[in-house]
Structure 1
């Protein structure tokens, strides 16, 4: 058999393990090809623009308190990380998690919970729509 010196010929179970690992890596790479897709320009649930939402999050400084995937320097530890926020049951522990409630919370958190550490930042309704659209479409 032709083998390279120092490299044993793989057969049987070791060969199946190697091919299985290579196949899994290939499938993983192909399925993640869409992971870096651009954000959509419109979100039906909010009427907001996810692309604009990322810029709006930066402008309001949300990353000073929250960790937010896809937002540069958003590594804050004061508030909860916002990855997967659309999958959570509640906002701030008691407000049912809907796109509309999340927008209202972002605009006026102190109206819902005066003891919350989240400050009133003067977020406009349009900006809240864009922010929520981004949060629901985080890369």
Structure 2
């Protein structure tokens, strides 16, 4: 994963030079459309409010609106694409006994979900 982030740094820098924010897929290595599909498959909207996801009005977990503007993921990890993906895949390792279950999210699905969340 570290190699992917290092490989993406020139893309991010180039976008910044042009005055454009980097796209969510360039910073995560994921695809927002596939992320929407994965969010629906894993049932994330049962617990979270997520813009653009039909029926995602859950109130168990925090809203995931504007997650890219937050300083921390889950109040514990600095908000980076790598940390968001780690949280999505392994929430119980990061914060044992928290309300978010481990759902066996694949690495690819976590990238795509992160791309969707940052894309909002």
Q: Per the shorter chain, which TM-score range?
A: 0.7 to 0.9
Q: Match of 2:35?
A: 53
Q: 2:57 aligns with which of 68, 71, 75?
A: 75
Q: What is the distance in 1 between the residues matched to 2:76 and 2:92?
A: 14
1:94 and 2:76 correspond = yes
Q: 2:87 aligns with which of 99, 102, 105?
A: 105
Of 91-100 and 116-125, more deviation after overlay is shown by: 91-100
Task: Name the one with the larger helix percent.
Answer: 2
CA deviation profile, 1:78-116 (whole Å, cap 9, x unmatched): 000000001101111121110100000000000000021
Give the alignment's Cα RMSD to 1 decimal: 1.2
Q: Match of 1:117?
A: 99
Note the residue ranges of structure 2 that are not aligned, 5 or more in a row.
1-22
Count of paired positions: 98
Superposition deviation, residue 51 in structure 1: 0.6
3-state SS of 1:73 partner: coil
Give the structure, 1 or 2, with the largest relative contact order (CA under 8 Å, sep 6 or more): 2
Superposition deviation, residue 132 in structure 1: 0.2
How does the TM-score come out when normalised to structure 1? Answer: 0.68
Note the residue ranges of structure 1 that are not aligned, 5 or more in a row.
1-39
